[in-house]
Chain A
Amino acid sequence: MIQNQPDHRQAEGCNSPERRDFLTKTSIGIAGLAIAPGMMLYEVAQARPAGEPASNKVRWGMLIDSGKCETGCNDCVTACNTENGLSGGTLDTDSQWIRKVQLKDTLTGHVSSLPMMCQHCENPPCVDVCPTQASFKRADGIVLVDKHVCIGCRYCMMACPYKARSFVHEVLTDQKTEVPRGKGTVESCTLCVHRIDRDGKTTACAEACSKAGHNAILFGDLNDPQSDISKRIRAVATTQIRSDLDLNTGVRYEGI
C-alpha cells in the first residue's frame, strides 16, 4: 500500500509551476545559445538558407570610388579571374568580366581609372532582348545568364550599353564547380552570386581591393538604409554610368 501512496512532496516538487517554468526557460535559453550564433551570422550576413528564393527586399550593389582606384593596380581583375576560373587573357576573344578603364577628361586632362563590369541594371537591356529568357534578373537585383538556356545569339552583347558581356569562343577546361561556363554561351559578372548565396559578405573584386588597401569598391545592400553602401550613397555625390539611359544601375561610381 505504501508504494501506492502518492508522494506529495515529490509530486509537488516535480510538477510545481516554478520548476516547469525554470525548465522551460532554461531549455529556451540553451536552445537560444545554440542557435544564436547562426541567427546572428544570418542577420549580419543576410545569407539565404538553401532552397529559399532570392528576395526583392535586398538589392545587391557596389559603389566604386574612382578617386581611390589606383592606376596600374589590377588586383580586382586578377581576383575576379581567379574566383571565376577565367583565363586572364586579353585577346578580343577572351572573356573579361571586369576590366580596368583608364579615363582622361578631354577638357581638363584629369586622369582617373575605374573597374568596369556588369552594372546589374534594374531595367537591363540584355534581359529585354534575350529571346529565350536566358538573361534574367534575380529578385535581389543580380543580372545573370542561365547557361542551360542561352543559345549564343549574342543579341544581349549588342544591347549592353557597358560592353560588360563576353562570349565563350572556344572549348573550356578546368572550370570552377561553383561557376559553370560553357562554349557558345554568353557570360558576365555574376556579382559573385555563389559567394553571396553562401555568406552574403562581399565579392572577390571588392575583397581584393580592400586587401590591397585601396577600399575603392564597397559592396552591400542598396535597400538596407543601415548598410555602409546606402549610407555612403546618401552622403556623397554618386554617378550611374550612362544615366541618360535610365537603367537604374546597381553599380554606382563616385569621383567621375
Chain B
Amino acid sequence: MSSQKFSRNESVYFYALVAIGLLFALFGFLAMHAMEEHGHIITGMNNQVVWGTPHVFAIFMIVAASGVLNIGSIGTVFGKTSYKSRTPLAGLLAVSLLAGGLSVLMLDLGRPDRIIVAATHFNPTSVFAWNIFLYSGFFGFAAVYLWTIMQKHLNMWSKPAGLLMFAWRVILTSGTGFIFAFLAARQAYASALLPPLFIVLSFAWGMAVFLIAQASMFAWNCTAVDATMLKRMKNLLGTFVISSLYLVAAYHMTNLYFAKQTAFEMFFLRDGGVYPQVFWIGYVIIGSLLPMVLLYLPGFGGAKSVVAASVLVIMGSFAFLYSFIIGGQAFPLSIFPGYEVSSTFGDGQIAHYAPSVPEIFLGLGGLAVAYLIALVSNRVLNTFPHDAAVASKNDD
C-alpha cells in the first residue's frame, strides 16, 4: 500500500482498529456476563486448578505493565536521554496494560460485584491486599509521572517522579511474585526466587510490548526507528530474555536437587504431558531461543527481526505463565509424603484442566481493553518518540 493512499484513509484505518478492539472487548463482556450468570462451572477451572487462563492473561498484562515502564525509567532515572522521548509512550502502555490486567483479574472473581469489599475489609497480612494498594498507587503515580514528563514547566519534577515510579513498580512486580512465593505448601511455588524472576520477566515482556507498539507507530507514520536506538533496544531485549532464562533455569535446577521436589520437576519438565511441551516448546524454544537467534545471529537483528523476536517473546510469556500457573496446580499437593494416596477429591492424581471459550474471551477482552486505551490515548496525546530531537544530544 502506498503511503499516500494510507494517509488519505488514515482515519478509516484508525476506526477499523478501534472497531476490532471493541469487538473483542464486547466478547470479553459477554464472557464475563456468562460467568457471572452461570458461575465458574462454565470455565475449565475447578477445585484443583483454581486459577486458570484468565490469570495467565491478567498476570501477563500486570507484569508487562510494570516492565514497559522500564523504558521510561532508563530515560528519567538512569539519565539516558535518548529514552526520554519514549517515556510518554511507555507510561501510557503501562497504564493501559495494568487496566486490562486488572479488568480480567476482577471480572474472574467469584463475586466481582463485591470488589469494593476489598477496599473496605483490608487484611494487612495478605499480599493480595497489598497489591490492591500497589495497583491503585501505580495508576496514580503513573499519571503524575506522565504529567511531569509531558508538561514542559513540570519537567524538573520528572526525575523524582520517575524515581518513585521505578521503586513502586519494582515493589509491585515483587508483589506479583510474592503471590506465588508465599504459597508455602505448593511444590511449584514457595520460592524466594520468584519475585526477582518476575522482575526480570517484566523487563523482557515490557520491552517486547514496547518494541511492537513502537514499530506499529513508526510504520503508521511511514518512518523508521533510528538504527542506533533500535540496536540498543534490541540488545536490551536480548539481555532480559537471557536473564529470565537463567533465573528460570536456576529455579528448576534448585528444585531438581531437592529430593522432595524431584517428582514435581519430573512432572513439570518431562512427564506432565501438555505442561512440559508448553514449557519447552512454548517458553524455552519459541519464547527464548528463537528470539535470541533473531536478535543476535549475523544477518538478523533488523527492524523486522526485532518485531518478530518481540512477538515470540510475548508468545513465550503466555507459554511460561500457562505452564507455571496451571501446570503448578495440576501436580498433586504433597499432603502425605511417603504414601500413595487416592480420594474422590483428586488426591494423588494429576488434575484435569482445559481452558473454556468464556475464559479465553475474558482474557482477550482484557487485552482488548489495554489495546483500546493505548490506541486511543496515543492518538489523542503526543506520545510519538521523536528520535531526531534527541539525537543531537548524543547522550551516550
Contacts and interface: CB of A to CB of B under 8 A. Distances in A.
A169 B184 contact: no
B184 to A, nearest CB: 6
A181 to B, nearest CB: 12
A152 B118 CA distance: 11
A32 to B, nearest CB: 46
Interface in A180-216: 182-186
B186 A242 contact: no
Interface string B304-346: 0000000000000000000000000100010110111111111
Contact of B127 (A105, A129, A133): A129
Contacts of A101: 335-336, 341-343, 347
Contacts of B335: 101, 116, 161-163, 241-242
B8 interface: no
A202 to B, nearest CB: 24
A44 interface: no
A92 interface: yes
B50 A152 contact: no
A135 to B, nearest CB: 9
B38 interface: yes
A128 B46 CA distance: 22
Given A105-B338, A152-B109, A169 B126 contact: no
Given A92-B351, A92-B352, A167-B47, A130 B126 contact: yes
A133 B340 CA distance: 35
A84 interface: no
Interface residues of B, number: 48
B338 A151 contact: no
A160 B329 CA distance: 12
Contacts of B38: 170-171
Interface string A84-127: 00000011111110011111111100000000100000000101
Interface residues of A, number: 56
Given A129-B127, A151-B110, A170-B41, A102 B117 contact: no
Contacts of A127: 125
Interface in B119-152: 121-123, 125-129, 132
Contact of A99 (B51, B121, B129, B344): B344
A73 interface: no
A13 interface: no
Given A131-B126, A185-B111, A154 B50 contact: yes
B5 interface: no
B109 A103 contact: no
A129 B126 contact: yes
Contacts of A155: 126, 128, 179
Given A163-B347, A169-B39, A183-B110, A131 B123 contact: yes
A151 B125 contact: no
Contacts of A242: 185, 335
Contact of A158 (B41, B46, B50): B50
> Chain A binding site: helix, strand, loop or mixed by DSSP?
loop
A149 B114 CA distance: 8
Contact of A132 (B118, B336, B344): B118
B48 interface: yes
A78 to B, nearest CB: 12
A89 to B, nearest CB: 9
B126 A93 contact: no
A150 interface: yes
A145 B118 CA distance: 15
A18 B382 CA distance: 102
A134 interface: yes
A54 interface: no
B115 interface: yes
Contact of B109 (A106, A171, A182, A184): A184
A152 B111 contact: yes
A185 B110 contact: yes
Nearest to B260: A244
Given A150-B111, A184-B109, A99 B343 contact: yes
B80 interface: no
A168 interface: yes
Contacts of A99: 343-345, 347
Contact of B115 (A151, A160, A162, A170): A151
B82 to A, nearest CB: 41
Given A158-B50, A242-B335, A90 B110 contact: no
A76 B125 CA distance: 34
Given A106-B339, A151-B117, A183-B110, A169 B40 contact: yes
Contacts of A93: 40-41, 46-47
B384 interface: no
Interface string B45-85: 01110110000000000000000000000000000000000
Nearest to A185: B110
Contact of A157 (B41, B50, B339): B50
B267 interface: no
The residue in B121, B345, B347 that gathers the most chain A C-beta atoms within 10 A of its C-beta is B345
A245 B344 CA distance: 25
B184 A104 contact: no
Interface of B: 38-41, 46-48, 50-51, 109-112, 114-115, 117-118, 121-123, 125-129, 132, 179, 182-186, 329, 333, 335-336, 338-347, 351-352
Given A129-B182, A130-B126, A168-B39, 12 more contacts: A99-B347, A116-B343, A116-B347, A125-B184, A132-B118, A149-B121, A152-B109, A155-B128, A161-B335, A167-B47, A167-B110, A242-B335
The 4 closest A-B pairs by CB, nearest first: A152-B110, A184-B110, A161-B185, A92-B46
6 contacts: A92-B351, A102-B343, A130-B128, A153-B109, A154-B110, A168-B110
